[in-house]
Structure 1
C-alpha cells in the first residue's frame, strides 16, 4: 500500500504539474518549501546543521534565511524535474548558462572521454539535459528506488533527456565495467560524487571536518585515461548557472590508492569553494560529516578500529556508492 501511494503521488506530479502555468507551479512549490521550513522537521534541522559547517559563525537570523532559501532551492529542483519532459530545446538552452565548456569540449574532441562529477547542487537533471542537447549524450548511475515502477519511470524520464542510466544494484550488469567501456570509447560519464558514507569511500577534509566521498570518478579516470572534470551548479534568478572547472590531473607519484585520495581531495576543494559561494543551492538534507554519525564509533569499536575523531580534532580543510554513484 505504501509503495502504491508513493508511486501514485509521483505519477500525479508528472501528470498535473507539467501542465500548470509556470507562476502557479513555482508558487505551489515555494509554498511547500516554506511549509516544511516552518515545521522545522529533521530534514530542515539537518540542513541548518550542515549550513553551520559551510558558514561558521553565521548569525541565527541569517542561518534561518539560508535554510529557507535552501528548501526553496531543493523544491525548485523537484518542480523543474516534473516539468522537464515538456520543456523545449529552446527553453533548456535559455535557462542554463555554462562557464568553462571548453574544458569538456577539449576532452571529448581529444577522444579521451571525460567524467563530469558534481555535488548535490542546483538541478543536475537540467544540467544533464543541456549537456545532451549540446551533442554529448552520457552515461550515469542511479540507485534503485522502491517501488520498482517509480524507479523505471525515473529511468525512462532521464533516458528521454539523453542519458543512459545504469542501475547501481539488481541488474546483473557490471556498473564499473560498463562505465569504463564507455570512457574507452571516448564517451562521457556523469556522476554525483559528494556523498558516500560507505567503507568504500575516500575520507577527505571538507570545510575543516572529515567526511567520505566516492572513489569511483577518480578511479575510473586512472583506469581509462579519461579527463576528470568537477562541476558546480547554482541558481541565479530564473536561470541555472554551471561552471565546468579545469581537469583534475592524475598525480605523478604514489600508488593507485594514494593517487585516488589526492584526486578526491582536490574535487572536495573545488566543491567547497562553489558551495561556500552558493550555500543555499547545496541540497544536503542528510547527515554528511562523520562526526554526525554516532553509530560509526560503535561499529568501528566493535571492529577493533579507532573511532572517527570528533569535529574539534579534525584537520583543516584543503584547497571541494559503491565505486561510483550517480543518484
Structure 2
C-alpha cells in the first residue's frame, strides 16, 4: 500500500492542476458507485432525521456530494510535495486568523476542535505550515503501509502526529505551549457522553473538554470549507475557556463543565453542518452506539 500510494502521488504531482482536479472528481464518482445501497440509504436517512431537508431526493444528492468530495480531497493530499507556504496562501483564506495570532503571542497551549467536514487533512497542514504549533491526534490505521504514508505526508507539512493513546504526550505538549487538534464528530462508542446534536441524543467524544479542563486551556474551533474549485476558507471561531480565568473548580464542577463544553462544541459543529451539509461524512453511522446505549438502558 505504501509503495502504491507513493507511485500514485508521484503521478498526481506531474499532472496539471486542472487535470488533477478532474482525476479527483472521477475518483469521487468511482467511490460513490461502489458504496452499498444500504449505506447510501443510511446516509440519506440521517440527513432527513437531522432536518437538513425533508426531500428524500435532495437528501440522497447531499449524501452523494459528501462522498464524491473524497476524490478531490485525496488528490489534494497526494499533491502535498507541491505545496509550499506561498502555494497554500493562494489556496486558502483565513477568517478569524486574529484569534490564532493572539493565541500564538500568548505562548499558551490550546485544544483545537475540528471535524471530518471539508478537507480536514488540508486544515491541519495549513495551520502547521503557517507556524501554529499543531499536534495532530490521529487514529492509527490498520494498514501499516497506509499509516506510514499519511503520517509521512503530514510530517512533510510540518505537522507532528501522536496517536489517541498518547495521553501523557498530549498533556506535555499542552504544557509546552503547543496545540492539540482533536476530531470530535464521529461515534465514540460507549466512551462518549450523551449530549445533543441536531436535537438528538448523541454519544459524543468529550476529549476536547477533558483536555482543556486540565488547566483551563482555551478551546479553539476550526472548520474548513471549499468555497470554489482549488480554494478553501478556514474559519476560526472565537476561543473560549471551560470557565473564567482566576476561578477554581472542584472535581464535581469540572464534570458538569465537561458536559456543558461538549454541548457547546456540538452546537458549533451543528451550525457549520447546517450551512455546508455536503461537507460532512454522512456515510458514517453517527448514531450507531447511541441507539445501542439507549436500548441497553431500557
Per the normalisation by structure 1, the TM-score is 0.81
**Aligned-partner Cα distance in 2 for 1:152–1:33:** 23
Cα deviation code 1:38-84 (max 9, x no counterpart) = 55524433332332234444323322332232122222221211112
Which of structure 1's runs of 4+ aligned residues deviate more than 4 A? 6-9, 290-293, 295-298
**1:167 and 2:158 aligned:** no
The match for 1:245 is 237
Superposed CA RMSD = 2.3
The match for 1:211 is 202
**1:131 and 2:103 aligned:** no
Structure 1 pair 134–40 and aligned structure 2 pair: CA distance change class (3 A): closer
Q: Is the 8 A contact 1:7 1:150 kept in 2?
A: yes
The match for 1:87 is 83
**Aligned-partner Cα distance in 2 for 1:101–1:107:** 10
Q: What does residue range 93-172 of structure 1 map to in structure 2 within 5 Å?
A: 93-169=89-165
Q: Secondary structure at the match of 1:210?
A: strand
The match for 1:312 is none
Question: What is the number of equivalent residue pairs in this alignment?
Answer: 290
Q: What does residue range 11-22 of structure 1 map to in structure 2 within 5 Å?
A: 11-22=6-17
5+ long unaligned stretches in structure 1: 1-5, 170-174, 301-305, 308-327
CA drift at 1:291: 7.2
CA drift at 1:9: 4.2
1:37 to 32, 38, 42: 32
**1:27 and 2:19 aligned:** no
Q: Secondary structure at the match of 1:80?
A: helix
The match for 2:264 is 266
**Aligned-partner Cα distance in 1 for 2:54–2:178:** 43
The match for 2:286 is 288
**Aligned-partner Cα distance in 1 for 2:266–2:173:** 25
2:177 to 177, 182, 186: 186
**Aligned-partner Cα distance in 1 for 2:181–2:223:** 13
1:276 to 274, 277, 280: 274
The match for 1:50 is 46
**Aligned-partner Cα distance in 2 for 1:241–1:44:** 28
5+ long unaligned stretches in structure 2: none
Structure 1 pair 14–46 and aligned structure 2 pair: CA distance change class (3 A): farther
The match for 2:72 is 76
**Aligned-partner Cα distance in 1 for 2:192–2:14:** 41
The match for 2:167 is 176
